[in-house]
Structure 1
């Protein structure tokens, strides 16, 4: 049985950078953390200098394993009310 979707709690920003930098020039890697527990919430944001690189990363990493978990890569959606 496959693990549930989302990033592993063992995933670090360095792991993300290493996995995603092969698709292009990263401008930002942000692993979202719980404030109190100071542990990852299971998702992150990565940004690229060029939109085509971002599209390539989405195609190349969506549904792949990272730190033992299947990850889903999507375009970030703005939260309502922001």
Structure 2
């Protein structure tokens, strides 16, 4: 799953805590800006099953996390995501 527009205060721990009730989290990847040493505002999460992922999307899309409304999407292939970022640098 892909999470654009996260708060810069969001941590891997806050993501894990918010999403652990929907199933077994296999991976939590909060993308960091290495120069500024802070989150870049997006993350990827992966569950053990697709059913758990669907539950998380249904349960958390449009909810608040760390003071911002979050948007939960199915992650796109890397090439498609790169094209999206180039078209809209907000992500």
1:57 matched to 2:43? The reply is no
DSSP 3-state at the match of 2:78: coil
Q: Paired residues, what number?
A: 78
Q: Equivalent residues in 2 for 1:61-76 (5 A)?
A: 61-76=60-75
User: Secondary structure at the residue paired with 1:33?
Assistant: strand
The structure with more helix, counted as a fraction of residues? 2
Q: Which residue of 2 aligns with 1:77?
A: 76
C-alpha RMSD over aligned residues: 1.7
Query: Are residues 1:45 and 2:54 paired?
Result: no
Q: Give 1:14 deviation, angstroms.
A: 0.3
Between the aligned partners of 2:76 and 2:40, the Cα distance in structure 1 is: 17
Compute the TM-score of the two structures, normalised by the length of structure 1: 0.89
1:80 deviates by 2.1
Give the TM-score, by structure 2 length: 0.80
Q: For each residue in 1:16-61, what CA deviation from the matched residue of structure 2 results, as whole angstroms up to 9, or x when unmatched?
A: 0000000000000010011211111111011000110000000110
Structure 1 spans left out of the alignment, 5+ residues? none
- Stretches of 4+ moved more than 4 A in 1? none
